Structure formats: C-alpha cells, structure tokens
Amino acid sequence: MSSDFPRCLSLLRQEKGISQRAAAKELGISQALLSHYENGVREPGLAFVVKACNYYNVSADFLLGRTLSRDGTTIAAEELYDYSSEKDNVLHGSILATLNKKLLVNSIGVLFDLLGKTGKKEAITAAADYLGTAIYKMFRHLYRADGTQNEDFFSVPARQFMAGIPFADMICTEAEYVDALACHVKEKGSFPPMNNDALRESYPGLYQSLLQIIHTTGERVNCRKAARAEKN
C-alpha cells in the first residue's frame, strides 16, 4: 500500500469536515480501525479502498497518491495553467514579488527550452526535480511559519523535513543532472548555441532575465565567500 494513502485518507476526511467517528460509520467500520488506516498502522483491503473512493468521490490512484488528478486522469502539459502567459499580472500586494517571479519564470523558460533542444530526457527530469524540491522547501517553510496549518498536508514528516531531507534530495538530483549531461557528451549528443549573441537572438524577451539571475547570484555568492574569508 502506498505511504501516501494514510495521509490522503485523513486529509479527505478533514476536507469533508466530518469527524473520524462519523466517517467510520459511513464507511461501515469502527472508529478505531479508521484511525489505524489514517495513521498507517494497518492496511485496508481492496473493498475498503473502493468504498472510500466512492464516499470521497475520488479515484483509487488519487487516494493512493499516484496522481494529482482526483478522477485519476493524467494531467497533460497543455492542461496546466500557465500563469506566465498573463500580461501585466501583479502579485497581490508586492511589486517586488512580481519582479522576482518574472525573473525566475523567464529564466526557467530559457533553461528548459535549451534542455529540450538537447533531447536528453534524464537531464530535463533531474532539472525539474531539483527546482521542484527548491520550491517545495520554500513553500513548506512559509506554510510552517503560519503556525495554524496542518502539516499532514505533506507526506515528508516535519522532523525529517527540518533535518534536511529535501536538501539531500537536491544534492542527489543535481548529481543526476550533471551525470545526465556527461552521458549526453559521451554519446556525442548536440547542444544548442549558448554564447551571448546566440542566446540574445534566440530569447530576445527572456535572456535579460537570465542575465540578471546570473549577475545577482554571482554577486551574492562572491560577497558571502569574501565575508567568510574575512572571518578566517
């Protein structure tokens, strides 16, 4: 049974706004047994999974954590909402947030377009995993800071998150990314032109954002390195 099942089962009940006792009655089991299912102490049989899917109106794949779509369908790229396509959108209450969002969205767009031109799927997947974990970390820290949210929303336990499991994942995915690119070189795969003129010509509206990210990050890293050297 998927480790996501207990979390999904518990969150669906909370989303429905009913007690464990009420849900157990509707599902035809004892409250104690439902508690065991929601806490991962025991695994249910197929009959219960089917009944829970019907009760919460979700697919088995969603309940088992295999898809983000409640009806079990695979989410296609063209179905994803593209916030970056909206013109003149300003994030609520902050021009600074809007500026940084645009810098990152534009830069990531250049990165994945370049990776797409290499055709190296392993590198594309590793890059997406790395950036996905970075976003996960930033969002979860924000979520935790609120202090009123239920951390059962996340499958990674809070102690493991704070101990650095996501950071370890980023180290691993970066290694996978570097390895995938090295394999591409070994296989004599091609790379798109990435000199200044070629990038400026290929991405006239986006390259400036990437340059800004490169400059700002370089300055920040060098300043921290210099500060550490002074302390030593």
How high is the pLDDT of residue 154? 87
Q: Where are the domains of the chain?
A: 4-63, 79-231
What pLDDT band is residue 74 in, cutting at 50, 70 and 90?
low
Residue type, 203: Y
2: nearest Cα among 133, 155, 166, 132: 155
Structure tokens at 28: 């035809």
CB within 8 Å of 133: residues ≥ 6 apart: 166, 169, 170, 173
- Are 213 and 107 spatial neighbours (Cβ–Cβ below 8 Å)? yes
Q: What's the pLDDT tens digit per position in 104-144?
A: 999 999 999 999 999 999 999 999 999 999 999 999 999 99
Q: pTM score > 0.75 for this model?
A: no
What pLDDT band is residue 97 in, cutting at 50, 70 and 90?
confident
Q: What percent of the chain has a predicted confidence (pLDDT) above 70?
A: 88
CATH of range 4-63; options 3.30.420.40, 1.10.10.370, 1.10.260.40, 2.60.40.10: 1.10.260.40
